[in-house]
Structure formats: structure tokens, C-alpha cells
């Protein structure tokens, strides 16, 4: 695992260096499925650096990456990559974006690394060995009073009336709860892991948005489930991550 960890850290930092270098510069921007679902040439540049490095060191490992898709090898190891999480922020020069890479073995996320080079914040977690920000151990908040909780959520590019993410948002802001929407699910999860936010939820995420952050929150002492309250299983789109203390309150809001 040490060799894999070394490659993970290098790949995250190398892609992060590209992100920083190109931040607020000129780059091509294309639209994906919707007019506001963007991909920049920096997303693909970061992704190539990461994938080439992994393939060079571990040619038998599988890869699932947002822009490049999936390669399915027989290996139990799968790398799950979001070359830039928060692409819309990046494209507009907002420094809330990051590189997110996780390593899954069979069905377990073993390693997670998320780097926001604009803030020089490197988040890392290893299963059973804790979560860290720039090398220092981090833990979720101790907030138990839901009425004073500080929350963050996200919204999909395509609004879906059947899930209606605005319903819970609207209920909670009417109660006066402070809720943020940063635009990077990976950073939302990191910021729950280090105690800045008390909880995060979103209705439609992909595995690359959440894989590394899920491990960070769990290793920092938090809880990550679907909206039924079952342990989150990586490929599920809905996610609730919290400091554990206010988890039941938010589940209740999401389901009532
Ligand atoms: C998006 C961000 C955003 C979340 C979206 C994701 P992208 O990822 O994580 O916060 O609300 O659901 O798709 O497109 O910036 O990699
Ligand atoms: Ca993403
Ligand atoms: Ca992305």
C-alpha cells in the first residue's frame, strides 16, 4: 500500500500544480450534457497526468475517471478520479475547486486524496488510519444542536422535480439555518471532515464526486449514508455526510 500511496500523493499534487498554474488564465471551455455542465481543457490536462501516472506504475489496476470513462481490469484495485471537482467555479476563476482521487479495493475505499491548490489545502485519508489536512489530524465538529448547525449542500446541473432538492433547502432556510452551496462536493466533504461544516447532503452525485471525500468524513469520525440512513455504497447518487451528532435530524428533514 505504501507504493500506491506515494503514487496517489504525487498524482494529486501534479494535477493540483496544473490547476494552480492555469487558474484564472485562458483555456477552452466546452459544454457536456447541459449548457452549464462544463469541461475545460484543464480538466483533461489534469486527468491525463493522473491516468498516465497510474497506468505507468499499476498497468493492471482499473480506472474510473469522470471525463475519460472506465477501464475494467481483473484487478481488485480501482482508481476513482475527478480531475477537477468544481469545474464551474474553476471556469469562472472562483478558487473553490480541487483534484479528487480515491483508491478502491474490492468494495472498500482504502485511500482518498483531495487537493485545493489555491488554498494549498491537501486532505488525505487512509482506511483505519485517520484523516489529515496538510499532515495534521482532523476530526468532524462536535455540534449536537441542529438548530445552530452550519450546513452545506449542492444542486445538480439538471433539476429533477421527482427529488426536488429545493424542498429541504427551503424548509431549513425558513427555520433560519445557515446553509452554503460551494459548488464542489469533494470540498464540501473535506470541510465536514475538518469540522468547518456540520453536515453536507446532495441528491445526485457521481462516484468520482464523492469517493475520496466519503473516506475523509468517515476517518474523521463522521457518518456517511444514503437518505434511508444505510451506509453509503459509493455508487448511490444521494448522500448525507455529517458529524454523526446531527445525522438523525437531517435524515428526518430529508424524509419528512
Ligand atoms: C460537481 C460539483 C458540484 C455538485 C455537482 C457535481 P464537477 O462536480 O461537485 O458541487 O453539486 O453535482 O457534478 O462537475 O464540478 O466535477
Ligand atoms: Ca465532480
Ligand atoms: Ca469534474
* Whether residue 171 sits in one domain with residue 194: yes
Structural domains of the chain, count: 2
Shared domain for 7 and 133, answered yes or no, is yes
Find out whether the beta carbon of 185 lies less than 6 Å from any atom of ligand 1: yes
Say if ligand 1 is within 6 A of residue 210 CB.
Answer: no
Query: Could you tell me the pTM of the whole model?
Result: 0.96
Ligand nearest to the CA of 38: 1
Is 233 or 128 the better-scoring residue by pLDDT? 128
Are residues 62 and 158 part of one domain?
Answer: no
- Rounded average pLDDT over 225-235: 95
> What integer is the mean pLDDT of 46-51?
96
CA dist 63 and 66 (Å) reads 10
Task: Name which residue sits closest to atom 16 of ligand 1, judged by CA.
Answer: 85
**Contact at 8 Å (CB) between 94 and 183?**
yes
32 and 119 housed in the same domain: yes
Identify the domain boundary among 137, 154, 185.
137
219 pocket-lining for ligand 1 (C-beta < 6 Å): no
CATH number at residue 128: 3.30.540.10
Regarding whether 220 and 173 lie in a shared domain, the answer is yes
State pLDDT tens for residues 10-39. 999 999 999 999 998 887 877 877 777 767
We report the CATH number of the domain holding residue 160 as: 3.40.190.80
Neighbouring-strand partners of residue 131: 125
Write down which residue in 137, 161, 184 finishes a domain.
137
Q: What is the model's pLDDT at position 10?
A: 97
Q: Taking all residues of the chain, what is their mean pLDDT, rounded to a whole number?
A: 94
CA distance to 79, 139, 158, 193, 210, per residue, from 11 (Å): 11, 25, 31, 22, 18
Final residue in a domain of this structure, among 137, 165, 182: 137
Q: Do both 118 and 212 map to the same domain?
A: no
Within this chain, do residues 7 and 126 fall inside the same structural domain, yes or no? yes
Pocket flag, ligand 1, residue 153 (CB < 6 Å) = no
Q: Note whether 6 and 132 are same-domain residues.
A: yes
Distance 85 CA to ligand 1 centre (A): 6
Give the atom of ligand 1 at the shortest distance from the alpha carbon of 89. Answer: 15
| Residue 73 pLDDT class (50, 70, 90 cuts) | confident
Beta carbon of 165 within 6 Å of any ligand 1 atom: no
- Please report, rounded to a whole number, the percentage of residues in the chain having pLDDT higher than 90: 82
Amino acid at each position: 500500500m505504501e507504493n500506491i500511496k506515494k503514487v496517489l500523493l504525487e498524482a494529486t499534487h501534479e494535477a493540483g500544480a496544473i490547476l494552480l498554474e492555469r487558474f484564472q488564465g485562458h483555456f477552452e471551455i466546452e459544454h457536456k450534457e447541459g449548457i452549464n455542465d462544463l469541461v475545460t481543457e484543464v480538466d483533461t490536462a489534469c486527468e491525463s497526468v493522473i491516468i498516465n501516472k497510474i497506468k505507468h506504475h499499476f498497468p493492471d489496476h482499473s480506472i474510473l475517471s469522470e471525463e475519460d470513462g472506465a477501464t475494467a481490469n481483473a484487478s481488485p484495485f480501482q482508481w476513482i478520479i475527478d480531475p477537477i471537482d468544481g469545474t464551474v467555479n474553476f471556469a469562472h476563476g472562483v478558487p473553490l475547486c480541487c483534484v479528487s482521487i480515491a483508491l478502491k479495493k474490492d468494495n472498500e475505499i482504502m485511500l482518498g486524496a483531495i487537493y485545493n491548490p489555491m488554498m494549498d489545502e491537501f486532505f488525505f485519508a487512509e482506511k483505519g488510519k485517520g484523516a489529515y489536512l496538510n499532515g495534521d489530524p482532523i476530526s468532524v465538529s462536535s455540534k449536537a444542536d441542529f438548530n445552530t448547525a452550519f450546513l452545506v449542500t449542492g444542486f445538480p446541473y439538471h433539476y429533477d422535480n421527482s427529488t426536488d432538492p429545493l424542498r429541504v433547502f427551503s424548509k431549513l432556510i425558513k427555520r433560519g439555518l445557515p446553509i452554503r452551496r460551494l459548488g464542489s462536493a469533494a470540498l464540501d466533504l473535506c470541510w465536514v471532515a475538518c469540522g468547518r461544516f456540520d453536515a453536507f447532503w446532495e441528491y445526485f452525485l457521481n462516484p468520482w464526486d464523492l469517493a475520496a471525500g466519503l473516506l475523509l468524513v468517515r476517518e474523521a469520525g463522521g457518518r456517511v449514508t444514503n437518505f434511508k440512513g444505510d451506509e453509503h455504497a459509493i455508487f448511490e447518487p444521494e448522500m448525507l455526510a455529517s458529524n454523526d451528532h446531527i445525522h438523525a435530524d437531517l435524515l428526518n428533514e430529508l424524509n419528512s
